[in-house]
Amino acid sequence: MKPFTLKTFLNAKSVALFSIIVFILAVMFTVTNQNQVTADTSLANRVLHASDMTDLKIETWQSDEKIEMGDLSHPLNNAVGKPELLDSALQAQIMAYQEGYQTSAFLTWHDQSLGMGNYVYRYPSSEQAIQAQKSITGQFVSTDKQQMVETFNQDNIQGESYVVMGDQNDALYWFVGVHDDTVVMLMVDSISASTSKEAFAMLLDDLFLKQK
Amino acid sequence: MLFKQQPYLLFFLLGLLLFTNQVASAQTKAPEGIWSTVIAYKTDWAYNEPTFPYLPHFGAFFIGGWGKNQHYLGPGGDTATCDSGSGCISVWNWWGPSYSTLLIPKWWWGSAWQHRFSPYYQATVYTN
């Protein structure tokens, strides 16, 4: 019987086969990982980050992360499984997004605090993104307290802004738009209507610049 | 008679009995939890209402569940929260699958940074 030495070990065919399998797995893992990073990065490039805040002061930066499907802290997930609130077909169109990214923060403008949430959702096609945007904004009911403010039709992004006035001169602003295959949403909320309005306008300008 | 011939068999059977008893009790005994008074670990948006314009709701998040006996430890204490526009902190709602998030009225969270400072929120929660 041959003694088992390092040489016989290194020459063994099984070791060579094992090495090839490990190499293939490593390549597959690297490629998958790189695709993931690329996708995340490109979506992340379309939202506002702490570094984009030039006029508004940052109080706390709350989130800068991928949106998980079960996460209730962003707008779209909360109607899932509630057909009594939102028609199932509309819900399916909205929830057809493949990936999402969000940032949120508390900011200060003229010593007044405001909350900001920026959400982007990528759909399989630009047609589906447009459909999703229509399904979202189609739910809006205009009243004395809530209205559509403005329509935007720029080269790189189309959408509408909305305001919801509170009972105590507070205001919530939304932008819902489409850029290619992505639905882009911006929310600004504060207890001062003028703060919400001014901050929303500034943040929206910054957001449009990022939709290249 | 058998144990006289194989004295170790008795110890083996006793050990086996003890082991199975331990396993059975571990499987059937429900984990016991405790009520404890803790402070919130973060404040953040809790959820948005399900349809557009997705009204956002803000909250203080606790580790545990079934929150109760909530208090504000910041300036003015509980009494200060009575200016929230939605009653004092004692009547604010709990939210989430295990009621671990104390919802904070907009007028309150928006009016001062201290109102978004998580260590100022204390509650009694149930933890396993």
ipTM of the complex: 0.77
Ranges A4-13, A27-36, A185-194: which has the least confidence: A27-36
pLDDT at A193: 96
Residues in B touching A190 (Cβ below 8 Å):
110
Cβ(A104)–Cβ(A63) below 8 Å = yes
CB neighbours of B3 closer than 8 A, spacing ≥ 6?
B9, B10
Helix/strand/coil for A147: strand
Say yes or no for a CB contact (<8 Å) between A146 and B85.
no
Say yes or no for a CB contact (<8 Å) between A190 and B56.
no
Q: What is the average pLDDT across A144-157?
A: 93
Closest chain B residue to A163, measured at CA: B53
The amino acid present at A110, given as its one-letter code, is H
Residues in A touching B101 (Cβ below 8 Å):
none
Q: Which residue has the higher pLDDT, B1 or A20?
A: A20
CB neighbours of A23 closer than 8 A, spacing ≥ 6?
none
Closest chain B residue to A173, measured at CA: B53
Ranges A36-50, A132-146, B70-84: which has the least confidence: A36-50
pLDDT at B20: 55
pLDDT at A22: 62
Whether omega before B53 lies within 30 degrees of 0, making that bond cis, reads yes
b/e map of A109-118 (b: 16 or more CB within 10 Å)?
beebbbbbbb
Say yes or no for a CB contact (<8 Å) between A166 and B47.
no
Does the CB of B107 have a partner CB in chain A at under 8 Å?
yes
pLDDT at B92: 98
- Mean pLDDT, contiguous 10-residue spans, chain B (128 residues): 60 56 50 90 93 95 97 97 94 96 96 95 96
Does position A177 have pLDDT exceeding 80, yes or no? Answer: yes
Q: In this structure, what are the phi and psi dihedrals at residue B33, rounded to the nearest 5 degrees?
A: -105, 175
Query: pLDDT digits over A93-125, tens only?
Result: 999 999 999 999 999 999 899 999 999 999 999
Does the CB of A113 have a partner CB in chain B at under 8 Å?
yes
Cβ(A152)–Cβ(A158) below 8 Å = yes
Q: Which residue has the higher pLDDT, B31 or A148?
A: A148
Say yes or no for a CB contact (<8 Å) between B116 and A136.
no
Q: Which residue has the higher pLDDT, B23 or A164?
A: A164
Residues in B touching A117 (Cβ below 8 Å):
45, 56
pTM of the model: 0.77
What's the start-to-end Cα distance of chain B, in Å?
49
pLDDT at B19: 54
What span, in angstroms and rounded, lies between the C-alpha atoms of A182 and A201? 21
Q: What is the average pLDDT across A128-136?
A: 96
Residues in B touching A72 (Cβ below 8 Å):
46-48
